[in-house]
Amino acid sequence: MADFSLDKIADLPTDLLIGGHAVAASDGGRFDVVDPATGEVITTVADGTVEDGIRAVDAAAAAAPWAATAPRERAEVLRRAFELMTARADELAHLIALENGKALPDARGETAYAAEFFRWYAEEAVRASGELATAPSGANRIMVVRQPVGIAVLVTPWNFPAAMATRKIGPALAAGCTVVLKPASDTPLTALLMAKILDDAGVPAGVVNVVPARRSGAVVSAMLHDPRVRKLSFTGSTEVGRILLKEAADQVVNCSMELGGNAPFVVFEDADLDAALEGAMTAKMRNGGEACTAANRFFVHADVADEFSRRLAERMSAMRVGPGIADDTQVGPLVNEDAVTKVTELVQGTIDAGGRIVVGGTRPDRPGYYYDPTVLTDVPPSAPILREEIFGPVAPIVTFTDEAEAIRLANDTEYGLVSYVYTRDLARGLRVSEAMESGMVGLNRGLVSDPAAPFGGTKQSGLGREGGHEGMLDYLESKYIALTW
């Protein structure tokens, strides 16, 4: 095992968690977890098999009495989990920075954000209210009760290994569901440590099971074809989401999908440029651009495009690139070699299409999976980089001349997760926000995520919502009882 330089993290779990026990994979397999800052192996983790996935479902089924636990008791468990995460925030942040590569400020922000889902759903657990009404005919009463949907399989990505887990585990446990978490292979350590925190908070054995696996497709498919599994919550690419939706259809499993994004960042000529630049740095460079909410396409009015581009390039070029766990790092490495290759190809494709590099556009000559913060201008609307999720520190800028063109360009994508709009004209801002084909809009704001708000997209960016009250409803079924008294 490599030197963590993290003395505060003790007894780091690296085995599967099934039924409250740390267990080896059924075939003894393990896989490497790599530090993206160096390319070196941090440690190895148990590599779950199809049999392990079904064992985890068995454990979740045996823990079904969790559904009958008093809502207040479930709430108190989640509240304790929030407090323990908060107490161990620095340890978690360092672990996230180590295995994911993100800079420590981002990792600390994620840890705080992740913990808030436990606090929010501790408060929501006691609010799964039903309904009682008189039928329009007057013949009977209509009673609606909400019950846990059942065993939930949760599949999370590597870019926010803590927050994407708590955003699913929190509402599932609040609703009374038991879960099997399949974390991303690049970042399993955070998920396993958080499972230990949940155990310390009093979550009963089998309520939360964690199965890291390199054989993700086979393991998740096996669980989705087990008739006891009634819920799938997935965060990841639209490509994989389509596959999982087809798999889930075989057993008609209830699905929540938070898929890819291609967020437009629209700057009108009357925008406060200082605020727009600040928002751009947040929307683009949070997690080094490796976020589904990252600003992917910058549409800037021709009257202010030169100034905006110049100032954005100045801000981007001044960012310090280095290992995520270094205190002075502002931009860490990308998660793996494939990520660097993709970003490199997208930038080169933009240059080939007529785009121009203002700053960046290169891979630093150093070990690890780095890419320099990059600003591209003169980007033609047909450039491939405007069609794909970049997932890196690259900002392509396209100019527009009027509101209608800005809306058309912004909506010219199969995705619809989030949009960003900057203007001083409130009427225009609201008008354009309503016209954006996305599930969320940041109006004069570069950050939209909030545990109290419904997070999700339209078009091929997903189904359902996470966060807010709606997030818990995704783990509840409404049962209608017709009654007379």
Return d(Cα 78, Cα 401) in angstroms, integer. 50
Catalytic residue of the set 116, 247, 292, 389 = 292
177 is catalytic: no
The rounded distance, in Å, linking the Cα atoms of 165 and 185 is 14
* Residue 349, burial from CB neighbour count under 10 angstroms (0-12, 13-18, 19+): middle
Distance of CA 175 to the CA centre of its chain: 21
Residue 471: how many other CB atoms lie within 10 Å: 30
Catalytic one of 116, 258, 290, 466? 258
Q: How would you write the chain as a 3-class SS string?
A: CCCCCCCCCCCCCCCEEECCEEECCCCCCEEEEEECCCCEEEEEEECCCHHHHHHHHHHHHHCHHHHHCCHHHHHHHHHHHHHHHHHCHHHHHHHHHHHHCCCHHHHHHHHHHHHHHHHHHHHHCCCCCCEEEECCCCCCEEEEEEEECCEEEEECCCCCCCHHHHHHHHHHHHHCCCEEEECCCCCHHHHHHHHHHHHHCCCCCCCEEECCCCCHHHHHHHHHCCCCEEEEEEECCHHHHHHHHHHHHCCCCEEEEECCCCEEEEECCCCCHHHHHHHHHHHHHHHHHCCCCCEEEEEEECCCHHHHHHHHHHHHHCCCECCCCCCCCCECCCCCHHHHHHHHHHHHHHHHCCCEEEECCCCCCCCCCCCCCEEEECCCCCCHHHCCCCCCCEEEEEEECCHHHHHHHHHCCCEECEEEEECCCHHHHHHHHHHCCCCEEEECCCCCCCCCCCECCEECCEECCECHHHHHHCCEEEEEEEECC
* 337 assigned to active site: no
Strand order in the sheet with 462-463: 21-23, 16-18, 208-210, 179-182, 151-155, 229-235, 254-258, 462-463
Q: Catalytic residue numbers? A: 258, 292
